[in-house]
Amino acid sequence: MSAQVEPTGPAEPAERSQEGRAEPAAHEGAPRRSAAARLVARTGSGLVQVLLILIALFWMVPTLGLLFSSLRSPQDNAASGWWTVLTEPTQLTLQNYANLLDNPDFVASFGNTVLITVPSTLIIVVVASLAAYAFAWLEFPGRDWLFLGVVGLLVVPIQVALVPISSLYGGTPLYGSILAVVLFHVGFGLPFGIFLLRNFFAAIPRDLLEAARMDGGKELTIFRRVILPLGGPAIASLGIFQFLWVWNDLLVALVFASEASQPMTVALQSQMRQFGANIDVIASGAFLSMVVPLLVFFAFQRYFVQGVMAGAVK
């Protein structure tokens, strides 16, 4: 939004007419917000930036540990801590990754993760954006009650549904299939998606939709040519959230996926031993499973910062 300050000439007589009431608010404020404002302003200055970098690095320690562990041989990992690699870079090897890629079970589980995550994300983004448009901009009876219902579903914890849905799947060939996992994710992802997008779409100025209607747009055209481009940032963030959530999910897959359809998270989890002997498989597998979400995030990250709405009205 462009922050233009407009001259407030005509406001004066109105103020005069209610002198007594308007006054007290004008005095405070200025010194009050300065503490927080100063802190915000200082995030730009040197000291704070150094501090932020340090915190960020500290936050990355486990990830770096995972990366270095995955690049060391099992023997080295058993003999010393991952940080020794900093002084002895000769330990580095890609053998773990080579082994991993030679392992057909692991490759299959990676494929399963993709097969679960991509459809779940796509279905949710498509259905949620269509539904959100209807909830935000179409008039139909019971719309607000229905939306309240959707909001209500947000509070249902996933664990509550595991048993009932298992027995629901039980009578069908769904049980253990990839589709079963996808459907579960879609069902539990939709309320949040609809909620998020509906609120974003509702904030699009009504005039824009009405202009499109006057210009001859049917609802689907308006959705495709006005709402989707303007809702881009929200849709992208929903896509990222959903992708990360499904990609990293262990619980749902553990319950509903069979051996053949298990995703990476389940495969890695089954490698866990009480005495951590499989560190080579786990570290490299976990790191691989982290790389994809990171790529997705960086690919869509610009949508978070882009202010697409500027210049729409006024």
Partner 1 sequence: MAQVRLSGIGKTYPDGTSAVKGLDLDIADGEFLVLVGPSGCGKTTALRMVAGLEEISSGTLTIGDRVVNRTPARDRDVAMVFQSYALYPHLSVRDNIAFGLQLRKLPKRAIKERVEEAAETLGLTEHLDRRPRNLSGGQRQRVAMGRAIVRQPQAFLMDEPLSNLDAKLRVQMRAEISRIQRDLGVTTVYVTHDQVEAMTLGDRVAVLKKGVLQQVAPPQELYNHPANLFVAGFIGSPAMNLLQGRLDADGPGARLELGGQALAVPARLLAERPRLREYLGRDIAVGIRPEDMDDADLDGADGGAVLSSTTDLVEALGPELLVHFQVPAPPVVTEDTKELARDAGADNVDAAAPYSDVIARFSPRSQARSGRPVRVRVDTGRLYFFDPATGDGIWDEPASATQQKEGTHA
207 near partner 1 (CB under 8 A): yes
305 near partner 1 (CB under 8 A): no
30 near partner 1 (CB under 8 A): no
Q: Please, which residue, 3 or 35, has the CB nearer to partner 1?
A: 3
For partner 1, which residue of 210, 251, 291, 299 counts as binding (CB under 8 A)? 210
Place of tokens 């503490």: 35
306 near partner 1 (CB under 8 A): no
Place of tokens 């870079």: 89
Interior CA angle at 175 toward 172 and 176, to 5°?
155
Q: What 3 state SS string does 248-295 have?
A: HCCHHHHHHECCCCCCHHHHHHHHCCCCCCCHHHHHHHHHHHHHHHHH
Which of 129, 121, 128 is CA-nearest to residue 230? 129
End-to-end distance of the chain based on CA atoms, in angstroms?
A: 10
CB 205 to partner 1: min, Å: 6
DSSP 8-state secondary structure symbol assigned to residue 5: P
8 near partner 1 (CB under 8 A): no
CB 59 to partner 1: min, Å: 36
Q: Which stretch binds partner 1 (CB under 8 A): 51-59, 165-173, 202-210, 245-253?
A: 202-210
CB 130 to partner 1: min, Å: 19
* SS3 call for 185: helix
For partner 1, which residue of 64, 161, 211, 244 counts as binding (CB under 8 A)? 211
Q: How many residues bind partner 1 (CB under 8 A)?
A: 29
Cβ atoms of residues 308 and 232 within 8 Å: yes
304 near partner 1 (CB under 8 A): no
Chain residues binding partner 1 by CB under 8 A are: 2, 7, 13-14, 17, 205, 207-208, 210-218, 221, 225-226, 229-230, 308-314
